[in-house]
Amino acid sequence: MDLSNFQELLLRVGQALGREQIRALAFLCADLLNPDPSTISMESATDLFRGLMDRDLLTEDRPYLLADLLSVVGCFRLLRQFGLYQMISTTKSLICPYR
């Protein structure tokens, strides 16, 4: 997947998420985005995805975190809609298990 397609995917996924789903994703990413505590109250999926991309945790070459996050918060419809099921990580997830 090239960068422009990946950015479009992130935009479309972000637009499809509800406020509570975005908050849940931000909570799951709190440890990954640490030490910035403001990430827990993020209201924008774009800001959240940008933070993950800035830390090189979410890239067009490694989109697995996006699929893992959507799976954990139960966004299975979005996984199907955007063809992300095959991207779910089969190895250790970056998401902290106690979250």
Task: Output the domain CATH number for residue 18.
Answer: 1.10.533.10
53, part of any domain: yes
Task: Specify the pLDDT at position 40.
Answer: 56
79, part of any domain: yes
The two tokens of residue 41 are 């109250």
Mean pLDDT, the chain, integer: 85
Mean pLDDT of 81-98: 75
Residue 78 has pLDDT above 80, yes or no: yes
Comparing 3 with 90, the larger pLDDT belongs to: 3
Task: Specify the pLDDT at position 3.
Answer: 82
Give exposure, 62-96, as e/b (b: 16+ Cβ within 10 Å). ebbbbbbbbbebebeebbeebebeebeeeeebbbe
Task: Specify the pLDDT at position 62.
Answer: 86
25, part of any domain: yes
From CA 51, how far away is CA 55, in angstroms rounded? 6
pTM: 0.83
40, part of any domain: yes
